Structure 1
Amino acid sequence: MAISLRRKREAPRGRYTPNLWPVWIVAPVALIAAGALGWVIYHYAHDHFAQAAADQKPPKPVDINDVLKATVTALTLIGAVLAGLYAYRKQLLAEGDAHRADASQLAERYTTAAEQLGHDQAAVRLAGVYALARLADDWAEQRQVCIDVLCAYLRMPYEPDPTAPEHKVGEREVRQTIIRVIRDHLQEPDTPTAWCKHNFDFTSAVFDGGSFSTSHFLGTVAFVGATFSDGRVDFGGATFGGGTVTFAGATFSGGTVTFAGATFSGGTVAFLGATFSGGRVTFGRATFSGGTVAFVGATFSGGRVDFVGARFSGGTVNFFGARFSGGRVTFGGATFSGGWVDFGGATFSGGRVTFGRATFSGGTVAFVDATFSGGTVDFGGATFSGGRVTFGGARFSGGRVAFGGATFGGGTVIFGGATFGGGRVAFGRATFSGGTVIFGGATFSGGMVTFNSATFSGTSFDWGPVPVPAGA
């Protein structure tokens, strides 16, 4: 019998229902335990009442009825507690069953949605997109997994050209729908179904359109190695208050990527090593009060990067080590009241960087150790009432830096330590009513610095000591 009872107690692994003792064993054991407990309580109560009766004057006999009442009351209380524990355990088992049923149903929904995404017909794949998005809303524990599947679909090989043999009918609509679904879940960070704090991996994906406008990015979003060859990808009005969005190694050969009106109060947007051979990336009217936008090591051989009308009151825009052989980067009409724009170590062999009509009332724009062998950097019509623009240590062997029509009412422009072996720095029609322009420590072995038609009613010029090679 001992062996039989032991086998009955050994519940198979993975079994959810408890393996209970038989009633014919439990009932006698429970009665014996209750009787023993009642006996202990009775004697304890009898001793207590006997001590109380003996302490009275004159002493009184023990009232057996009081002892019995106390015993029954204690047993009733203990029974009530045990009944409550049993009910609580039963509720836990019921909730566990319900949770397992829900998990099983959610897993089935996931399997169905994944199968739909792999279907040959675009209409079925679209249904799979919406099914997976709804599942992500209902299944918070596995929400990131659902998001990863949608992102993985966008990372799959895609041929946007409808005349190509690899092109799949309806594929563009499916991909655009995925992007739209993601955007819809990035609008309200405080809602229970928001995806703002989750991560998105679009590594090596091909984009020919799609909108992330007015989204809130609080996690990590990766466009590493992505290709933008056509269409418009819209981050307009988006908020970057934290997290990282990276376009490292991305290729912009066509189309438009816009951050127009976006707010950068924290986090990082990185274009490290990106290649701009065509198309346009625009930050027009964006606000930079914190965070970093980095084009470190990027190559500009064509296309356009646009900061027209942007407001810089903090944060950093970094072009350190970038190579400009073509294309255009423009800060026209931008306002610099703080922050840092850094072209340190950049190479300008072609193309154009313009700050036309920009306002510098604070902050720094730095071309420290940059190389100018071609192309143009244009500050035409800019207003300098504060802040700092420095070309310290820059090398001019060609190209042009133009301050034509600029107004210097304050701030500092520095060419200290720069080397002029060619090229031209022109202040034609500039107005100098304040501030400082420093050439001290610059080396002139060629090139030209001109002030044609400039107006001088102020401004301090620091020219010395200026090393000039013998015979120059």
Structure 2
Amino acid sequence: MTAKRRPPAAPNDRELRLWRIGRALTLAFAAAVLVAGGIFYGLVVLLDFEEIDSTAELDARTLFDLVKLSFGVAAGAGALVALVVAYRRQRVDEAGAHREATRLHTERFSQAVDKLGSDSPAVRLGGVHALAGLADDAPTQDLRQTCVDVLCAYLQLPFTPDPGSDPAHQEEHHRYLALRKVRHTILRLIGDHYRRPRGTHRSWQGCDLDLTGVTIDGDLDLSEAVFSEGAVNFRGAVFSSGAVNFSRAVFRGGAVRFDDPVFSGGAVHFSGAAFPSGTVHFRGAAFSGGAVYFTGAAFSGGTVHFSDALLSGGTVHFSDAVFGDGTVNFSDAMFAGGTVHFRGAAFSGGTVHFRDAVFSGGAVHFNGAVFAGGAVNFRGVTGPAPHGLLTAVGTPVPATLVLASAWLPPVP
């Protein structure tokens, strides 16, 4: 973190682009003439003038009116020139103010990154807050994204594990705790800013959030956040302790990936989350400890992948979840340990795939599940039927439900 990273230049659409003054005035005059001509023609039609008397003589009153009209035209032309010049001056001032804001942002950015690379945990903590403040005040979305990228990159850096509280390693243990405080502060700031509605001050919604391979050992609150734009990536992340909260979050479009994560401890909540569109990936997820909650989640559209997941420990809750539309894919998942609850889940629409899944250990419960529509596919599944599944299905088996052949009663 000792190298300085400079934010990218402002995007091209913020650069000052002005026509030459002659061209601007010519176009302005032409527009004014066209507007005046249109108004004149409209008045002629509106007042129903039939023709202009070409034999009329020019009297003093008419001449005076023409003189006044000439002065009015000249005054209007002068006002038009002043308007064009004032507009150009305003644009130049705005561009200058934008350049100055970008320059100040760049200076503050460099100072904040220097603090983040300090050997002192307290100074690093100051750098974290400085970068978060810069992201809030960034004059462009690109500059805000750069600040968020640096904070995410800090979380991706390898860190020394806790040496323990043994007196012989007391100094190292204290340093570990201090640096963990820095990491936990970044997680808290990400949650605080990402939960704010898009378009409001200090909102980071719409920014890319790259937490690839990050070990999340503290609290991260993304409850009620809306994931509709930007790329959010937890690929390979390790959820080892603390509470990570996506409760009542809305996954509507965007790119959200949890490929190959490890849920080994703590609690991760997707309770009441809504998946109305887009695609969310949990491919290859390893559930080996802790608890993951999809209780009451609404799979009402879009696609959610749990294919190739390994459920070998801990507890995963899909209790009272509603599978109402879209596709949820558990194909090739291995239920080898721990406890998985589908108690009270409602399969009322869309498609849920368990094709070629393996039920080889642990406890999988479908007690009280309701199969009221949609397609649920257990084709090619190996292992015994989950607890309560056949009772919940009832007889005859609904046409939209495909069970493993070994679970069906023998045909007389």
More strand by share: 1
Distance 1:81 1:233, change over 3 A: closer
Q: Is the 8 A contact 2:378 2:402 kept in 1?
A: no
Distance 1:65 1:304, change over 3 A: closer
Deviation digits for residues 74-101 of structure 1 (CA, Å, limit 9, x no counterpart): 6555444334333333333222222221
1:145: which partner in 2?
A: 146
Matched residue SS, 2:159: coil
> Which structure has more RCO (C-alpha within 8 Å, separation ≥ 6)?
2
Aligned partners of 2:72, 2:320: CA distance in 1, in Å?
82
Tell me the TM-score normalized by structure 1: 0.65
1:331 and 2:342 aligned: yes
Find the structure with the greater CA-based Rg.
Answer: 1
Q: Is the 8 A contact 2:376 2:402 kept in 1?
A: no
2:224: which partner in 1?
A: 214
Aligned partners of 1:197, 1:111: CA distance in 2, in Å?
24
Aligned partners of 1:107, 1:128: CA distance in 2, in Å?
14
Q: Is the 8 A contact 2:377 2:402 kept in 1?
A: no
Q: Is the 8 A contact 1:299 1:323 kept in 2?
A: yes
Residues 3-402 of structure 1 mapped to structure 2, 5 A cutoff: 77-139=76-138, 140-141=140-141, 142-161=143-162, 163=164, 168-193=176-201, 194-211=203-220, 212-219=222-229, 220-372=231-383, 377-379=386-388, 382-384=391-393
Matched residue SS, 1:362: coil
Distance 1:121 1:379, change over 3 A: same
Matched residue SS, 2:188: helix
Matched residue SS, 2:351: strand
Pairwise CA distance, 1:311: 2.4
Aligned partners of 2:355, 2:382: CA distance in 1, in Å?
9
Aligned partners of 1:205, 1:108: CA distance in 2, in Å?
29
Distance 1:238 1:144, change over 3 A: same
- One-letter code of the match for 2:224? T
Deviation digits for residues 92-148 of structure 1 (CA, Å, limit 9, x no counterpart): 322222222111112222222222222222332222222222222222332222221
Count of residue pairs brought into register by the alignment: 351
Pairwise CA distance, 1:331: 0.6
Q: Is the 8 A contact 1:198 1:218 kept in 2?
A: no
Aligned partners of 2:296, 2:242: CA distance in 1, in Å?
21
Gaps of 5+ in 1: 1-15, 17-51, 385-406, 426-437, 443-462, 465-472
Distance 1:66 1:326, change over 3 A: closer
RMSD of equivalent CA atoms? 3.5
Identical aligned residues as a percent: 43
Tell me the TM-score normalized by structure 2: 0.73
More helix by share: 2
1:6: which partner in 2?
A: none
Aligned partners of 1:180, 1:371: CA distance in 2, in Å?
43
Matched residue SS, 1:197: coil
2:45: which partner in 1?
A: none
Matched residue SS, 2:235: coil
Gaps of 5+ in 2: 1-15, 17-51
Aligned partners of 1:415, 1:87: CA distance in 2, in Å?
73
